[in-house]
Chain A
Amino acid sequence: MIPAKDDNSIPSAALLSIRNVAKSFGKNAVLRDISLDVAEGEFLTILGESGSGKTTLLRIIAGFETASAGEVWMGEERLDRQPPYRRRVNTVFQHYALFPHLTVEQNVGYGLRVAKRPATEIAPRVAEALEKVRMSAHAKSKPSKISGGQQQRVALARALVNRPRLLLLDEPLSALDANLRRQMQVELKSLQREVGISFIFVTHDQEEAMVMSDRIALLRSGELEQVATPREIYGRPATAYVAQFIGHTNLLKGEVRAGMLRSGPLTWSAALPDGPVLLSLRPENIRLASGSMAVPRRVRVRGTVLSQDFHGATELIRVECADGLVLVVRTPGSSGALGGVELEFSSTDAVLVRQSPERI
């Protein structure tokens, strides 16, 4: 059993080492200079929009694409020098890729049969794998007769039964409906803990990434924006892009002069060098002002509510303040804020972020 990781642990001995990997299709540069280490037993998510290169990166690790530059190491061996059928890596494909002419059982046992394991070994291992994904009852069914969610679990069993050192998952939950998705997220997470092998999970869904991962690698236009634990990536986004991609945020442009930071109608003291700054302020860190106690680092501003998005437990309201500043604020669902309001936040919650470089 691998103990739960806390926020600041450094990944232990790297299982997989991606060094300066780049990939171009013709003139189209899909990946540029990617370097990333994956630890033993870690659940790493590669997160990105479509076109970010995340699937390409996964396919390079699996062996279905060759990198234009760079190396991939697993332990002491060059992984990218080996054809896919010799790598101790298995993949769960986006559309499952179950063999239609084989039963569930035969699908799961495929890798073992191909490796010419004795039949006495294959049967119990297959049964165990099916047990783990709770598909034992469907062992003799053909893939066309089971549902999408069930196919996905078979695909998982088929990959895991081979005891790979690394499991790759290419957006496996994208074809499932919302409730099933949430259920599978939890199941996948606990399965990973149980088998203890490293998972590399690819998705475009940032909520999914946050829920499941030990670490998230956010990819944008072929480059890594930030690699950090979910808490870090949320609380201390490195760039404006990260701040906006993960959850909601208010991006504030400001200017520092003589220790005072000004952003529109907002102003507070900041121990920063003079110059322009960019800040990320999360909606849940802004509250409706209560009490008149002046607290150091508390910033207050007045505004009018423009619109409300009711989300059940919370509400997201847009408030127009002076100088055209519009703030997005997360309030408890029951607050029913309307008309004129006064907002307050702590200046320490305004995180400094870099502007993301423009990429073609």
Chain B
Amino acid sequence: MFSRAYKTAVTLPPLMWVTVFLLTPYALMFCYSFWSVSAAQTIVHSRSLDNYLQLLRVEVYWQTLLRSMWIAARVTIFSLLLGYPLAYFLSFYAGKKKDLLYQLVIIPLWVSYLVRAYAWKTILGSDGVLNTLLQYAHLTKHPLEFLLYSPFAVVLTLTHIYTPFAFLPIYAALEHIPRNLVEASHDLGATPAQTFWKVIFPLSIPGVVAGATFAFVLSLGDFLAPLLLGGPSGIMISNIVVSLFGAAYNWPLGAAISFCMLLLVVSLLVLSERLEKKWIFS
């Protein structure tokens, strides 16, 4: 229906921009990953898989990657556990207050990430709110050290950040379920519990997959929370990358790790897309 001139004018600029500023940089990153750093701190255009092999050989690297994935997995699980019942409550239970409550869930998302991570630091520190409270209530005698500068702190903070992300697609999916299906299920003799497991939950699965993907991928690549709250035991893969581009000065190695992350993320996205397609019925 639209003229060729229109279509070209509309497609070309973004296409060109994206090629220059997205495709090319990723390609460059790919190239960088084969290079290496000389003793003189310059970048040598060699051609080897050394960097990728390093990733496998050097303990710190693959261990950190695994730890990052484990942290991301926990964040995902907790976000889903917190987010699903919340979404269910809003969708089926909240009635007139639904919109207001929805807004309340969204608001924290808009507050600066840095601000919120920093706030957790205040709360979890040995001098912080939580410890002071616990001691005040005589539940503990000394400040709990593991609360801050540990994987625990990272998981807690990231769960706080990403629960709304898990919530949103689940809520959207639940809202999409026609209410007459719930009535039909009851009409046919299913109790509310049976209705949930046989009708509501299966139809909400695409939302769960989307929410889980967001939570996992985003927390996997996070570098702020570990830096602020992780301490030495809470370092994640992105922190290593950041330091390789900073003090540890090894761009090619950093590029190699980044590129691996890129591949990982893309494959997860493809996987989740397939899963969602399997569970969409409309």
Q: Identify the A interface with B (CB < 8 A).
A: 62-64, 83-86, 89-91, 93, 95, 97-101, 110-111, 114-115, 142, 144, 158-159, 162
A97 and B281 within 8 A (CB): no
Q: What CA separation (Å) do A86 and B191 show in the bound complex? A: 9
Which residues of chain B have C-beta atoms less than 8 A from A99's C-beta? 181, 184-185, 199
Which residues of chain B have C-beta atoms less than 8 A from A144's C-beta? 281-282
A142 and B281 within 8 A (CB): yes
Which residues of chain A have C-beta atoms less than 8 A from B202's C-beta? 101
Task: Known A101-B202, A101-B281; judge A85-B184 contact (CB<8 A).
Answer: no
Which residues of chain A have C-beta atoms less than 8 A from B198's C-beta? 110, 114
Q: What CA separation (Å) do A89 and B191 show in the bound complex? A: 15
Enumerate B189-247 residues with CB–CB distance to A below 8 Å: 189-191, 194, 198-199, 202-203
Which residues of chain A have C-beta atoms less than 8 A from B14's C-beta? none
Q: What CA separation (Å) do A159 and B181 show in the bound complex? A: 13
Secondary structure class of chain B's binding surface, majority of residues = helix
Task: Report how many A-B pairs have Cβ atoms within 8 Å.
Answer: 67
Which residues of chain B have C-beta atoms less than 8 A from A86's C-beta? 189
Interface readout for B124-144 with A: 1 if CB under 8 Å, 0 if not? Answer: 000000000000000000000
Q: What CA separation (Å) do A277 and B181 show in the bound complex? A: 51
Q: What CA separation (Å) do A158 and B199 show in the bound complex? A: 15
The smallest beta-carbon distance between A147 and chain B, in angstroms, is: 16
The smallest beta-carbon distance between B209 and chain A, in angstroms, is: 14
Question: Does B59 reach chain A (CB closer than 8 Å)?
Answer: no
Q: What CA separation (Å) do A158 and B190 show in the bound complex? A: 13
A85 and B190 within 8 A (CB): yes
Given contacts A85-B191, A110-B198, 12 further A-B contacts (CB under 8 A): A64-B186, A84-B186, A85-B186, A85-B187, A86-B189, A90-B187, A91-B184, A93-B180, A99-B199, A110-B188, A114-B185, A162-B189
Which residues of chain B have C-beta atoms less than 8 A from A159's C-beta? 187-188
Which residues of chain A have C-beta atoms less than 8 A from B190's C-beta? 85, 110-111, 114
Which residues of chain A have C-beta atoms less than 8 A from B181's C-beta? 97, 99
Question: Does B183 reach chain A (CB closer than 8 Å)?
Answer: yes
What is the number of residues of chain B that contact chain A, defined by CB distance less than 8 Å? 20
Q: Which of A84, A97, A114, A158 is within 8 Å of B180, CB to CB? A: A97
B184 and A93 within 8 A (CB): yes
Enumerate B152-194 residues with CB–CB distance to A below 8 Å: 178, 180-181, 183-191, 194
B184 and A97 within 8 A (CB): yes
Q: Which of A100, A115, A158 is within 8 Å of B203, CB to CB? A: A100
The smallest beta-carbon distance between B173 and chain A, in angstroms, is: 12
The 10 A-B residue pairs whose C-beta atoms are closest, nearest first, are A111-B188, A100-B281, A97-B184, A97-B180, A114-B190, A84-B186, A101-B281, A91-B187, A85-B186, A85-B189
- Among B180, B191, B282, the most chain A Cβ lie within 10 Å of the Cβ of B180
The smallest beta-carbon distance between A86 and chain B, in angstroms, is: 8
The smallest beta-carbon distance between A200 and chain B, in angstroms, is: 14
Which residues of chain B have C-beta atoms less than 8 A from A89's C-beta? 187
A84 and B187 within 8 A (CB): yes
Q: Which of B178, B189, B282 is within 8 Å of A114, CB to CB? A: B189
Q: What CA separation (Å) do A6 and B209 show in the bound complex? A: 60
Q: What CA separation (Å) do A98 and B180 show in the bound complex? A: 9
Q: What CA separation (Å) do A60 and B28 show in the bound complex? A: 67
Q: What CA separation (Å) do A91 and B189 show in the bound complex? A: 11
Q: Which of B180, B191, B281 is within 8 Å of A95, CB to CB? A: B180
Task: Known A114-B188, A114-B198; judge A84-B203 contact (CB<8 A).
Answer: no
- Among B180, B187, B194, the most chain A Cβ lie within 10 Å of the Cβ of B187
B184 and A114 within 8 A (CB): no
Which residues of chain A have C-beta atoms less than 8 A from B279's C-beta? 101
- Among A85, A93, A142, the most chain B Cβ lie within 10 Å of the Cβ of A85
Which residues of chain A have C-beta atoms less than 8 A from B183's C-beta? 62, 64, 84, 91, 93, 97
Q: What CA separation (Å) do A89 and B198 show in the bound complex? A: 21
The smallest beta-carbon distance between B251 and chain A, in angstroms, is: 49
Q: What CA separation (Å) do A62 and B182 show in the bound complex? A: 13
Which residues of chain B have C-beta atoms less than 8 A from A101's C-beta? 202-203, 279, 281
Q: What CA separation (Å) do A83 and B194 show in the bound complex? A: 14
Which residues of chain A have C-beta atoms less than 8 A from B180's C-beta? 93, 95, 97
Q: Which of A62, A98, A142 is within 8 Å of B187, CB to CB? A: A62
Q: What CA separation (Å) do A332 and B185 show in the bound complex? A: 51
Closest to B184 in A: A97
The smallest beta-carbon distance between A337 and chain B, in angstroms, is: 50
- Among B186, B191, B198, B281, the most chain A Cβ lie within 10 Å of the Cβ of B186
Q: Which of B186, B189, B281 is within 8 Å of A115, CB to CB? A: B189
Which residues of chain A have C-beta atoms less than 8 A from B203's C-beta? 100-101
Q: What CA separation (Å) do A245 and B190 show in the bound complex? A: 39
The smallest beta-carbon distance between B207 and chain A, in angstroms, is: 14
Which residues of chain A have C-beta atoms less than 8 A from B184's C-beta? 91, 93, 97-99
Q: What CA separation (Å) do A144 and B281 show in the bound complex? A: 8
Closest to B188 in A: A111
A100 and B282 within 8 A (CB): yes
Q: What CA separation (Å) do A95 and B191 show in the bound complex? A: 22
Closest to B195 in A: A85
The smallest beta-carbon distance between B96 and chain A, in angstroms, is: 13
Enumerate B56-85 residues with CB–CB distance to A below 8 Å: none
